[in-house]
Amino acid sequence: MPHNNPQTLEWQALSSEHHLAPFSDYKQLKEKGPRIITRAEGVYLWDSEGNKILDGMSGLWCVAIGYGREELADAASKQMRELPYYNLFFQTAHPPVLELAKAISEIAPQGMNHVFFTGSGSEGNDTMLRMVRHYWALKGQPDKKTI
């Protein structure tokens, strides 16, 4: 496929030299190079050749509310200046996590009023397993481990 943008070939060369692409057909990737995504807005992406593409996977399911949301960019920018991150270990909390926990508990089913935050889905799954085992240990059934 001919490229209208010379930058596309440069980015594809960088990809070939330095990037391992997940879930890819490496034969096709070697022949054609990767599609280079350069920007996004709403539910659309644009590649380095100017093609507009509907992002049906929401950026691999983590951009369900769309791209370019100014109110989210403003809130994130403000928070990044104040406190971009701090862990919740060792009896520590901070206002953003407390406010989010309250907001989640207000819309959760009755009786589910505590929130445990994790950094990823795999960490969430690991934590859930530990909580289930801890629950059964507190109930006097520590041998109950089959999930």
Nearest to 89 by CA among 117, 60, 113, 55: 117
Q: Does 128 map to a domain?
A: yes
Residues 98, 57 within the same domain: no
Neighbours of 8 (CB within 10 A): 19
pLDDT in tens, 67-118: 889 999 999 999 999 988 888 888 888 888 999 999 999 999 998 888 988 8
Residues 10, 57 within the same domain: yes
Mean pLDDT over each residue of the chain, to the nearest integer = 88
pLDDT for position 57: 80
Domain that holds residue 40: 6-61
Residues 57, 96 within the same domain: no
Q: Does 127 map to a domain?
A: yes
The first and second tokens of residue 123, run together, are 């960490």
pLDDT in tens, 7-38: 999 999 999 888 888 888 888 888 888 999 99
CA separation for the pair 12, 35 (Å, rounded) = 8
The model's pTM:
0.61
Residues 51, 96 within the same domain: no
* Strand-pair partners of 52: 46
How many structural domains does the chain have?
2
Residues 90, 133 within the same domain: yes
Give CA torsion, residues 11, 17, 22, 27, to 10 deg: 100
The first and second tokens of residue 96, run together, are 């953003």
